[in-house]
Structures are given as structure tokens and as C-alpha cells.
Amino acid sequence: MCISGNRITGGGITAGIDFAISVIAHILGEPSAHIIQLLFEYRPAPPFNSGGPETAPQFAVDTVRGKVAEIATDLWEYRSRC
């Protein structure tokens, strides 16, 4: 979440509820945010702990690094044709 002047923004694929609870905490206070979270029974728990290379299994890290390298190569080839 980013607060700048009279604007509050947030991003991420599944960040909508997290963002909403953070805005509630910012505007109404943390007690209200706790109450809303309990009302929603919101208990985020990803099915896997692979959100970063430090916790992901090595096979996943290696696969992602390979895919990123492929994408980078494809982008450089495309750029050279433009």
C-alpha cells in the first residue's frame, strides 16, 4: 500500500482484501481493521511457500530462472528486429 497526499493505492494479484483492510486501518484505526478481518474470517494462507527464491524448492527456482532467460533472449531478438 502507498499513501501519498489524498491518494491511497495498492496492487497485486490477490491484494484486494489486504488493501481494503489496510485502508480501513489507516482511516478508521487498527481495531476496526481487526473487526473487519474477523467478520470476513480472512485467514490468508497460500497453499505453497514458493513466493520467493529463498523459500521455493530448488527445482522451481531453476525452472523460473530458465524461463526468464528464454523470455529475455526472445525480447532481445525482437528488439533487434525493430
Cβ 19 vs Cβ 2: under 8 Å: no
Q: What CA–CA distance (Å, rounded) separates 18 from 15?
A: 5
The model scores a pTM over 0.85: no
Q: What CA–CA distance (Å, rounded) separates 70 from 67?
A: 5
The SS3 assignment for 3 reads strand
pLDDT in tens, 50-80: 889 999 999 999 999 999 999 988 888 877 8
pLDDT attached to residue 38? 92
Domain locations in the chain as residue ranges: 1-45, 48-82
Cβ 17 vs Cβ 40: under 8 Å: yes
Q: What confidence category does residue 13 fall into, taking pLDDT thresholds of 50, 70 and 90?
A: low
pLDDT in tens, 18-51: 888 989 999 999 999 999 999 988 888 777 888 8
